[in-house]
């Protein structure tokens, strides 16, 4: 299980870097009114792949982790509640937002609409992810690496 947690923790940084890159490229595209380039599409594709890979690792961890319990007592414990409900639900929401952002930006009719849809969906997903990561400064935390 320790290796899976390390993989999950490492993938967090890849997801965050790709998400930030996709947000900045989308913002840049909106501001400069440039054409939607293949590199914009690739970043959102790699973001989608990395988040879904992270989801698969997270699902495995969800079912084998001692930090996930389905009891009433788990809801009274901050750490157990966080990993059983809060982290998993918020991350599912963020992955859904990233997936919807990728699909809707691909299907948008104009380049401006592609950048705008990607930007807003990815930005909201980033906020949700920041709220759901067990940062070292939180009561429920994991190390940076």
pLDDT digits (tens, 9 = 90+) for 23-39: 999 999 999 999 999 99
d(CA 43, CA 139) in angstroms, rounded, equals 33
Cβ atoms within 10 A of the Cβ of 38, count? 8
Would the pLDDT of 15 be above 90? Answer: yes
pLDDT digits (tens, 9 = 90+) for 90-145: 999 999 999 999 999 999 999 999 999 999 999 999 999 999 988 777 676 666 65
d(CA 23, CA 40) in angstroms, rounded, equals 10
Residue 98 C-beta-side C-alpha neighbours within 13 Å: 30
The pLDDT-based confidence of 83 (bands split at 50, 70, 90) is confident
Long-range contacts of 69-75 (CB under 8 A, 24+ apart): none
- Write down the mean pLDDT value for the chain: 91
Are the C-beta atoms of residues 141 and 134 closer than 8 Å to each other?
yes
Would the pLDDT of 21 be above 80? Answer: yes
């Amino acid at each position: 299980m320790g290796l899976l947690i390390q993989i999950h923790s490492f993938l967090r940084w890849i997801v965050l870097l790709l998400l930030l890159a996709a947000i900045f490229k989308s913002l840049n595209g909106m501001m400069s009114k440039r054409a939607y380039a293949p590199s914009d599409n690739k970043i959102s594709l790699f973001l989608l792949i990395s988040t879904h890979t992270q989801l698969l690792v997270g699902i495995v961890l969800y079912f084998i982790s001692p930090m996930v319990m389905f009891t009433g007592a788990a809801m009274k414990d901050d750490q157990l509640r966080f990993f059983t409900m809060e982290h998993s639900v918020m991350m599912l929401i963020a992955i859904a937002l990233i997936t919807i952002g990728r699909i809707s930006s691909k299907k948008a009719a104009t380049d401006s609409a592609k950048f705008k849809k990607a930007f807003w969906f990815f930005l909201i997903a980033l906020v949700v992810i920041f709220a759901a990561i067990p940062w070292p400064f939180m009561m429920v935390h994991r190390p940076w690496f």
